[in-house]
Amino acid sequence: MPKVVDHDARRQELAEATWRLIRREGLEAVSVRKVAREAGVSPGSLRHYFTSQSELLAYALRMVGERIEQRIRSLEPGQTLEDHVQALIEQVLPLDEERATEAVIWLAFVGKALVDPELAKLATETHNALYHLFHQLIKAMVRHGALPRETDVELEARRLHALVDGLALHGVASEEPLSPQMIRQIVAHHLEQLAAKAGAVPGRGEA
CB of 153 to a second copy, least distance (A): 13
Q: What character string, x for contact with a second copy (CB under 8 A) and - otherwise, covers 145-184?
A: -------x--x--xx-xxxxxxx-xx-xxxxx-x---x--
176 binds, among a second copy, DNA, none (CB under 5 to 8 A by kind): a second copy
Binder among 24, 26, 29, 98 for DNA (CB under 7 A)? 29
Binder among 51, 79, 181, 193 for a second copy (CB under 8 A)? 193
Nearer to DNA by Cβ, of 25 and 192: the residue is 25
- Residues 38-67 touching DNA, rule: CB under 7 A, are 41-45, 47-49, 51-54
Q: In degrees rounded to 5, what are phi and psi of residue 26?
A: 90, 165
Helix or strand holding residue 191 (H, E): helix 180-200
Contact 156, 138 (CB under 8 A): yes
29 scored as a contact of a second copy (CB under 8 A)? yes
109 scored as a contact of DNA (CB under 7 A)? no
In whole angstroms, give the CA distance from residue 69 to residue 97: 17
CB of 93 to a second copy, least distance (A): 10
Q: Give Cα separations from 124 to 95, 102, 113, 161, 187 (angstroms).
A: 24, 16, 9, 14, 24
Helix or strand holding residue 98 (H, E): helix 97-113
Distance between alpha carbon 135 and the CA centroid of its chain, in Å?
15
112 scored as a contact of DNA (CB under 7 A)? no
DSSP 115: T
Nearer to DNA by Cβ, of 36 and 133: the residue is 36
In whole angstroms, give the CA distance from residue 102 to residue 79: 27
Closest CA to 105 of 180, 29, 49, 7: 29
Binder among 16, 23, 34, 170 for DNA (CB under 7 A)? 34
117 scored as a contact of DNA (CB under 7 A)? no
Which spans of this chain sit near DNA (rule: CB under 7 A)? 1-4, 6-7, 10, 29-34, 41-45, 47-49, 51-54
